[in-house]
Amino acid sequence: MRRLLTAVFLISAAAIAYEILLMRVLSIVQWHHFAWMIISLALLGYGASGTVIARAWRFLEPGFEAAFSVAALLFSVTMVLCMAFGQRVPFNALEVIWNPGQFLYLGLMYLVFMVPFFFAASCIGLAFTFRRDAVERIYLFDLIGAGFGAVLLIALLFLLLPQQALLALAALALAASAL
């Protein structure tokens, strides 16, 4: 149980830090008008994950530990890949008025940036679903991890470039996968 709680702490820290990092990057790259979308796509990832867990819980239950570990690993990998790919989507907020095709690029950005949140939420959702006897402790470590992640990202951005901070967050998720 101790390893699971530590892994939940690390996933929560990395997830909220990644969300704030995306807000910061998009507020610079796409102006502040599109930074708000990060909250909604994080929620989209969490909702999609809950749906998958609810539909596949019988399949996931026997291999809970493996499913948690794989989801944490995929969270680590997709954080980096989706950030790189999302910055290559040719969305231009200024063109939205006269080029309706920009809405397709905006939708693609939503889908790309949602993927890491899906895997982070899968870890948390799996822990809540299959370790019902420790829900209050899991929730505590989830909340403390999120608070730590927010403070951690602020400190990291004083010390590192955003790309380096992203790699540090991916390392947190990778450590959770190893646990």
Among 2-6, 66-70, 105-109, 136-140, whose mean pLDDT is lowest?
Answer: 105-109
CA dihedral 10, 155, 163, 95 (to 10 degrees): 100
Q: How far apart are CA 168 and CA 137, in angstroms?
A: 26
- What's the whole-number mean pLDDT along residues 120-145? 93
- Closest by CA position to 134, among listed 163, 164, 126, 165: 126
Q: Using CB atoms within 10 Å of the CB of residue 68, give its burial: 0 to 12 exposed, 13 to 18 middle, 19+ buried.
A: buried
Residue 87, classed as helix, strand or coil, is coil
Place of tokens 């690993």: 73
CB contact at 8 A, 138 and 3: no
Q: Apex CA 105: angle with CA 120 and CA 96, to 5°?
A: 130
| Whole-prediction pTM | 0.90
Number of CB atoms found within 10 A of residue 1's CB: 10
Given a cut of 80, whether residue 10 has pLDDT beyond it is: yes
What does the mean pLDDT of the chain come to?
89
